[in-house]
Chains A and B, each alone.
Chain A
Amino acid sequence: MLDDTDRRILRHYQHAPHLGPAELADLAGVTPATCARRLDRMQATGVIRANCAMIDWRALGYEVEVSLRITLDKTQVRAFDEFLEAARNVPEVIEIQTFLGRVDLRLSVIARDMAHYQDLYRRAILTLPHIADIEALMHVARIKSDEVLPV
């Protein structure tokens, strides 16, 4: 479905998503018209779903980020659905992932400081339904975060 030109454009676009079609065309070594046409087609076919702005939560005063690895009580048939529904209502939860493996779910939770985190944890996290076990991992640093696909 994608040819080498599409892949070349995507490789450059992933590393510089702020570029417009003309600048991107330069980098990828194609004409601006070709570049615009290829991008349009990749958007229309859903290969490119969106180009999103990423928020630096620290700049907004959220200094703490914690990963919560959660195991659910799977004797409850609706455990996953009810847990997910409730977790979506906690604004400080910025990511929800489900897994096949040693843990069932992971939540990324942000907080202004440790006191705020402690309060959130007791008030909004521990009260989520069907939790059997929670492990908390504290973020120290992001070494690589571009999430580029090796196309």
Chain B
Amino acid sequence: MIELDTTDRLILRALTEDATQSASAIGRRLGLSQPAAWRRIRKLHDSGVIKAQRLDLDHEKLGFGVTVFLGVKLATKGRVSLEDFERAVSAIPEVQTVEHILGLYDYRLRVVARDISDFERVLRRRIMTLPGVGNVEANVLLSEERRPGPIG
């Protein structure tokens, strides 16, 4: 685990908003020299605090009007391995995320579709035919906010 000081936190916050900013642009904003900003950015990457980058795309403009979260309970027959289910579900292009969780459900899937009838097609042809699927609960996403988190 790594401890961040206030300057590190400000840099991290800036990069979560726009990761394409150069070290000199960030340095100018925070009153640091380019090399000092570069060293701190390097540290955030090397220590694994920044694990990846993600494109934030406008789903509607790309024709994806519907996002649905599915809670999937596997049928308790013990014949299907978790690995088989995970491999098959991860291969579906409309499934954006797969999370293994403990509680009411075994897996949570984030599924995108063009509209509700397209979602029905994905659900029937792709999800319900997965090995071992039992109960499925659907919640249609209305709004989503990603918060900065405890970095001050």
A-side interface residues toward B, CB under 8 Å? 1-2, 10, 13-14, 17-18, 45-57, 59-62, 67, 88, 91-103, 106, 110, 135-151
Contacts and interface: CB of A to CB of B under 8 A. Distances in A.
A10 B57 contact: yes
Given A136-B103, A150-B112, A50 B61 contact: no
A59 B90 contact: no
B149 A149 contact: no
B69 A47 contact: no
Given A94-B149, A99-B142, A149-B96, A54 B51 contact: yes
A149 B62 contact: yes
- Chain B contact-residue range equals 35 or more
B99 interface: yes
B56 A54 contact: no
8 contacts: A14-B57, A50-B17, A55-B16, A60-B2, A98-B143, A102-B137, A143-B90, A144-B95
Given A47-B58, A52-B18, A150-B112, A91 B149 contact: yes
Contacts of A101: 137-140
A145 B151 CA distance: 22
Contacts of A88: 145, 147
B56 A49 contact: yes
A108 to B, nearest CB: 9
Interface stretch (B31-39, B42-50, B73-81): B42-50
B96 A140 contact: no
B147 A144 contact: no
B108 interface: yes
Contacts of A93: 147
Interface in B96-117: 96-105, 107-108, 110, 112
Contacts of B108: 67, 137
Given A17-B54, A141-B99, 15 more contacts: A2-B62, A14-B57, A18-B52, A48-B55, A49-B56, A50-B56, A52-B17, A91-B149, A91-B150, A98-B143, A141-B100, A142-B97, A142-B99, A145-B97, A147-B54
Contact of B53 (A51, A57, A140): A51
Given A149-B112, A151-B62, A56 B48 contact: yes
Contact of A67 (B20, B90, B101, B145): B101
Contacts of B150: 62, 91-92, 110
A56 B89 CA distance: 24
B94 to A, nearest CB: 6
Contacts of B56: 48-52
B23 interface: no
